[in-house]
């Protein structure tokens, strides 16, 4: 069986590696530098690439002719939002038109890109029909199997997760189930593509709403001078309490998917109040962290324009280099508006990409010692940052006016008190 995977990112590459153990796979991407690195066995996303696999079964390409006439096409392109928080389907449109040009009759197209219910059949398939001159259900079939990639997670991998599959008919569903069973232990089939699309978006919406709840509780408990982390630990001793930590919610899934479902809901004249309220709370947390930092600087009688702040971490998530939709930039921007001097550090994010996309400079963590600070913000819990608090003592301008902002509640508030810190935790 011949397979073309469109997109060589966090979703497409693991699929390409897994399927190449059983089939001939071509992995296509428009990013030439990315493809050239992968051909050499280099992956900046930290996937393990076996050179013998690349040589014998797995091909990386930017050329359209290399993905012509395949049995199966798997689409894994990003589906972000635009400046109005509406779905940006430009990449999905481009790849649907492309697949229509290169596919043959009886090909099966599988979408893994996250989207709103109905998008595959209402938006993508007409585009495929347009360029292929083929008829959906008569000349080709379509399935939807939402990605469940969790970067940095070594337990819930492609092999171990349950894979959802929906298709346009039972015959195709059975075929695709068997196809994915070659790389996944557990397959869960659903009766329609729309069900599979819906399941994907609510997986992330549920997390978004729950994190929004604990973020709001964190704001309240801070006003009440009660340590949020201690409250959550105590409450989690009840058997049916679900433990979520407060924090910054960015990335390409949790902070995006609510807007996709809201977009579809509004088409049906329904306003999903809870979903959008949760998103509004989470969107505000970066600015909230910055304001709390400014408040503590003022308590220390620091002139903001003379203040220096170190921010540790720029990725949207711990221990991965991905900075898509990171909310740390909100902290940076708000502090800089107050003329505060900000130094940004990360251990794995790309300095070049951050400068290009976010217009800010990134320093290597080893350079932290070159400067002195009035406040340190631990924004992302990369393992290299989780030092004993005494480690950070030497980086402050004053031993008596140390401000430590622990965004993800990594340290006990009591330890912070003992070390003479003015501190803030969500």
Listed in sequence order, the residues at least 6 apart from 39 whose beta carbon sits closer than 8 Å to its beta carbon are: 54, 60
Element (H, E) at 94: helix 90-102
Q: Is the pLDDT of residue 249 over 80?
A: yes
Task: Return the pLDDT at 149.
Answer: 84
pLDDT of residue 425: 83
pLDDT at 232 over 90: yes
Q: Average of pLDDT values for 159-173?
A: 96
Backbone Cα Rg of the chain: 24
Does the annotation mark 62 as catalytic? no
298: alpha, beta or left? (left if phi > 0; alpha if psi -120 to 50): alpha
Pairing of β 162-167 and β 141-144: antiparallel
How far is Cα 340 from Cα 159, in angstroms, rounded to an integer? Answer: 47
Q: What is the mean pLDDT of residues 401-405?
A: 92
Using pLDDT thresholds of 50, 70 and 90, give the confidence band for residue 415: low
pLDDT at position 416 is 59
Is residue 253 a contact partner of residue 242, using CB atoms and an 8 Å limit?
no
- Pick the closest to residue 249 from 191, 200, 208, 300 (CA basis): 208
Start-end of H helices in 268-370: 273-283, 285-299, 328-337, 351-358
d(CA 22, CA 178): 12
Q: Could you give the CA distance from residue 380 to residue 245 in angstroms, rounded to a whole number?
A: 13
CA atoms within 13 A on the CB side of 426: 29
Query: What integer best gives the mean pLDDT of the chain?
Result: 93
Topology (CATH level 3) of domain 283-425:
Rossmann fold (3.40.50)
- Pair 251, 219: CB distance under 8 Å: no
Catalytic option among 27, 119, 184, 253: 253
**Residue 411 scores a pLDDT above 80:** yes
Roughly how many angstroms between the first and final C-alpha of the chain, as a whole number? 51
- Percentages helix, strand, coil for the chain, rounded to the nearest 5? 40, 15, 40
Confidence (pLDDT) at 334? 97
Residue entry with tokens 């709370």: 281
Tens of pLDDT, residue by residue over 312-328, are 999 999 998 899 999 99
Query: Would the pLDDT of 413 be above 70?
Result: no
Query: What value does the mean pLDDT take over residues 398-426?
Result: 80
Query: Are 79 and 87 spatial neighbours (Cβ–Cβ below 8 Å)?
Result: yes
Strands laid side by side in the 421-425 sheet: 363-364, 341-346, 308-312, 375-378, 402-406, 421-425
Q: How far is CA 38 from CA 21, 147, 356, 388, in A?
A: 17, 21, 22, 38
Can you give the pLDDT at residue 108? 98
Give per-residue pLDDT as tens, 311-370.
999 999 999 889 999 999 999 999 999 999 999 999 999 899 999 999 999 999 999 999
Q: 77 pLDDT exceeds 70?
A: yes
- Candidate from 29-33, 45-49, 376-380, 381-385 with smallest mean pLDDT: 45-49
Burial group, residue 361, by CB count within 10 angstroms (0-12, 13-18, 19+): exposed
Percent of the chain exceeding pLDDT 70 equals 97
* pLDDT at position 316: 93
**CATH architecture, range 2-194:** 3-Layer(aba) Sandwich (3.40)
Whole-angstrom distance, CA of residue 147 vs CA of residue 129 = 24
pLDDT at position 87 is 96
pLDDT of residue 46 exceeding 80: no
Q: Is the pLDDT of residue 262 over 80?
A: yes
The better pLDDT of the pair 229, 240 is held by 240
- Token pair of 128, please? 């495929």
Tokens of 412: 């006990």
Tokens coding 346: 């990360």
Instruction: Give mean pLDDT, residues 361-384.
Output: 94
pLDDT digit string (tens) for 183-201? 999 999 999 999 999 999 9
pLDDT tens track for 99-143: 999 999 999 999 999 999 999 999 999 999 999 999 999 999 999
What is the DSSP secondary structure assignment for residue 122, as one 8-state letter? I
Q: Is residue 331 helix, strand or coil?
A: helix
Classify strands 363-364 and 375-378 as parallel, antiparallel or unpaired: unpaired
Domain with CATH 3.40.50.720 in the chain: 2-194, 283-425
pLDDT for res 400? 85
């Amino acid at each position: 069986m011949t397979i073309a995977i469109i997109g060589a990112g966090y979703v497409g590459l693991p699929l390409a590696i897994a399927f190449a153990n059983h089939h001939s796979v071509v992995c296509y991407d428009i990013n030439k530098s990315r493809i050239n690195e992968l051909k050499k066995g280099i992956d900046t996303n930290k996937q393990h690439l076996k050179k013998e696999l690349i040589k014998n079964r797995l091909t990386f390409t930017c050329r359209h002719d290399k993905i012509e006439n395949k049995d199966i096409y798997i689409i894994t392109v990003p589906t972000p939002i635009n400046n109005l928080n509406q779905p940006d389907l430009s990449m999905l449109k481009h790849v649907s038109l492309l697949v229509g040009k290169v596919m043959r009759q009886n090909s099966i197209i599988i979408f893994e890109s996250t989207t709103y219910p109905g998008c595959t059949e209402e938006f993508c398939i007409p585009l495929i029909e347009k360029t292929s001159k083929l008829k959906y259900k008569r000349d080709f079939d379509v399935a939807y199997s939402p990605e469940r990639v969790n970067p940095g997670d070594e337990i819930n991998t492609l092999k171990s997760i349950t894979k959802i599959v929906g298709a346009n008919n039972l015959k195709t569903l059975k075929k695709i189930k068997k196809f994915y069973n070659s790389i996944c232990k557990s397959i869960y089939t659903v009766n329609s593509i729309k069900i599979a699309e819906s399941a994907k978006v609510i997986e992330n919406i549920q997390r978004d709403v729950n994190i929004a709840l604990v973020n709001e509780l964190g704001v309240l408990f801070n006003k009440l001078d009660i340590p949020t982390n201690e409250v959550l630990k105590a409450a989690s001793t009840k058997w049916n309490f679900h433990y979520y930590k407060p924090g910054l919610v960015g990335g390409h899934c949790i902070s995006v998917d609510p807007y996709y479902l809201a977009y579809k809901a509004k088409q049906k004249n329904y306003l999903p109040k809870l979903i959008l309220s949760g998103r509004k709370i989470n969107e505000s947390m970066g600015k909230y962290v910055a304001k709390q930092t400014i408040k503590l600087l003022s308590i220390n009688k620091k002139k903001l324009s003379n203040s220096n702040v170190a921010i540790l971490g720029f990725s949207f998530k711990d221990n991965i280099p991905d900075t898509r939709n990171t909310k740390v930039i909100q902290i940076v921007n708000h502090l800089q508006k107050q003329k505060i001097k900000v130094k940004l550090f990360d251990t794995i994010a790309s300095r070049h990409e951050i400068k290009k996309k976010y217009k800010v400079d990134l320093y290597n963590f080893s350079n932290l010692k070159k400067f002195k600070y009035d406040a340190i913000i631990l924004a992302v819990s990369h393992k290299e940052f989780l030092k004993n608090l005494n480690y950070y003592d030497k980086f402050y301008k004053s031993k008596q006016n140390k401000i430590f902002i622990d965004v993800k509640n990594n340290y006990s508030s009591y330890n912070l008190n003992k070390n003479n810190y003015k501190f803030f935790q969500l």
